[in-house]
Amino acid sequence: MVAAALVLALVAVGVVTAMSTVNATSGRPPAIRVVASAVVPGSVPDFMWPKVGQAAVAVRGVGMVDRSPRERRVPIASLTKMMTAFVVLRDHPLSPGQSGPLIRITASDVAIYETEAMKGDSTVKVVAGETLSESQLLEALLIPSADNIAGLLATWDAGSVGRFVAKMNATARSLGLASTHYADASGVNPLSESTAADQVRLGSDLMGHAVIRGIVRRADLPFPIVGKIWNVNPAIGDDGIQGVKSGWTLEAEGCLVTAAFRTLRHHGVLVVTAALGQPGGLWNAALVDEGLLDSATRGLVAWRVATPGATIATVTLPQGGGSISLIAPPRARFAIVWRGLKLTERISAGSGLLAKALVGELPGSTVGEMLVVAPWGVVAQLPLGLSVTAGATARRTGG
């Protein structure tokens, strides 16, 4: 097994690396700093990237995993509404089952609806004087993708669409969506642009809201005045797909972000895919996303980070002082990663914590950690305990 091979490598590296930091005069135990590499067993998944446009894959809680070549910022149509929903829920939080504040529909709201409906935009009919709750407006925003509701929510939240768009762009920057820029709240404006990688990250973050998950998985919902609203996402319900958002304009072509839960070793993970710029509309985008989801599912694995109780790194103290070993916790830890993925292991333990542990000031405590780092960031963090061989304690107390 890879984990066992890693332990042997770390022991060897640990001795050399840590010995160089020993303070021979004080006898203080050395700080441990070890870097090693590993490869998850198996073959790298063969993602079927689209020949036209772009796509990306992410796992919620893990991060963006891979993206297609030729990525560039392009119009994203109604995927824009994912950020609209994100900002509204951040500013006006809801829990599942809550309706939130009531918003009264004005004559101005009706005029905007009528204008956009005449242009052929996606809309939901509203009537002056009726009241709709925040949760209902989010449903109308995300299920039938109503452009008029995007503007209504933006004005309710920020006082004007312009001020709300400024919030959207500030939020994009705070989330690290460096290739994303919004020009409106609905996506009708082709200057609302992003990349598949940014949109798959945003889709992952948005699906962290239980309220959103409860909305976007629905094929239809009852709604005032119109009776029922229908989900325009063609992938809903297929292969366990539970969202997230679709979009289409002449400039953007077919755009789709999908999400589906998968189970690995009793670990539930949410796989998110995004396809942008797909000719032929939403059905082609759905085919791209479903192909990526299949590839991702075959490539995902719950990888055991280390054998429970195994020695992760060992440092031999000078002058017969024994040795210090960092030990994995007794319970197995897993990281959700891809077969064939190259990982970096960063093992560390501070000299001060080791010194206290050696004289019994930190009995049974964690003295170090191991970080498992993928190209997109940390995927596992392992607390490490201490094991001391004969002579090590005597060496410390005698110093």
The CATH code of the domain at 77-247 is 3.40.710.10
pLDDT per residue rounded down to tens, the chain (399 residues): 333 323 323 333 333 233 323 333 345 677 888 898 889 998 878 888 999 999 999 888 777 778 999 899 999 999 999 999 999 999 999 999 999 999 999 999 999 999 999 999 999 999 999 999 999 999 999 999 999 999 999 999 999 999 999 999 999 999 999 999 999 999 999 999 999 999 999 999 999 999 999 999 999 999 999 999 999 998 888 888 988 999 999 999 999 999 998 877 777 789 999 999 999 889 999 999 999 988 888 888 888 888 899 988 887 766 666 777 888 999 888 888 888 888 999 999 888 887 777 676 665 678 889 999 987 778 889 999 888 764 443 232 222
Burial 19-57 (b: 16+ CB within 10 A, else e): eeebeeeebbbbbbbbebebebeeeebebebbeebbbbb
Interatomic CA distance for residues 163 and 147, integer angstroms: 17
Residues 105/126, Cβ–Cβ less than 8 Å? yes
Interatomic CA distance for residues 273 and 288, integer angstroms: 9
List the domain boundaries for the chain: 2-42+303-398, 77-247
Residues 159/55, Cβ–Cβ less than 8 Å? no
What's the pTM?
Answer: 0.77
